[in-house]
Structure 1
Amino acid sequence: MSNKYVDKEQQEAEKPDNAKPGKKMKGSKTVSQILSGDFLTREFVIENLGFIFYVMLLLLLLITKGYYVKQVSDNVIKTEAELDEIVSDYVELKARFQEETARGKLLEKLEGTGLIESIDPPKVIRVKEEKE
C-alpha cells in the first residue's frame, strides 16, 4: 500500500450528487413535517394515539408533582422558621420566670405583706400505716 496524495476537492467532485445532500434533505424534510404538523396525519401516529395521550398524562402528572413538592418544601421552611421563633420565645419567657421567682426577688416582694422567710428547713412527717 502506498501513500499518495489525494485531492479532496477532486474526490468530492467525483462523488455522486445524492450521497450527502440526500441525508441533509431527509433531515430537513422531517423538521419541515414537524413544524407544519403533517407528521400527525401519519398512520403510525393515529394508531398509537392512546399511548401518546397516556404519555402526555404522565408528563402532566410529573409537572404537577414538581409544583406540589415545591409548595410543600416552602411550607416546611416556613413552619421551621415559626417553630424557631416560638422556641426562642419559650426560652426567653422561661428565663424571665426563673429570674422573677428567684429567692431574693420573692423576699423583696413579700416585705410589705408581713410574711417572712422561714429559717428552719421544712420537716417531713411520715405516717406508717398499720396493716390489720
Structure 2
Amino acid sequence: MRKIARFIAPALVATLGLSAIAPTIAEAAPRHDVRHGPNREAKVRSDISSLRAKIDRAAARRTISQREAANLRKDTAEIQRLYGTYSRGGLNAREIQTLESRINRVEAALRADHRGPRR
C-alpha cells in the first residue's frame, strides 16, 4: 500500500498543480481570431464619420463637384453597411484591415478629387 501511495501522491500533486496553472497558460497563448476591443472599433466608427464630414465640407466649399460628392458618399455608406455587418460579432483583425483599407481609398479619392484634374 505504501508503494502505491508513493507513486500516486506525487502524480496527484502534479495533476493538481498543472490544473491550477493551465488557465494562465491558455490566457497567455496568442489567439488567431482575436476580437479587438471597443477602442479599435470606436476609431473605425470615428474614421467613417470623419470621412462623411470631409466629403460634406469639400462639397460645401465646392472643391469637389456634387457628382463626386455623391459617389464618395455612396462609397462611405457602403463602408458603414460593411461595418454594421462586421461589428455584430465584434471586429477581428482582418475585418478592421478591410474597413481601414476602404476608408483610406475613399480619403485618397477625396484628395484626388479635391485637387481637381491634372493639366
Please, what TM-score do these two structures have when normalized by structure 1?
A: 0.35
Which fold has the larger relative contact order, with Cα–Cα distance below 8 Å and residues 6 or more apart in sequence?
2
Please, what TM-score do these two structures have when normalized by structure 2?
A: 0.37
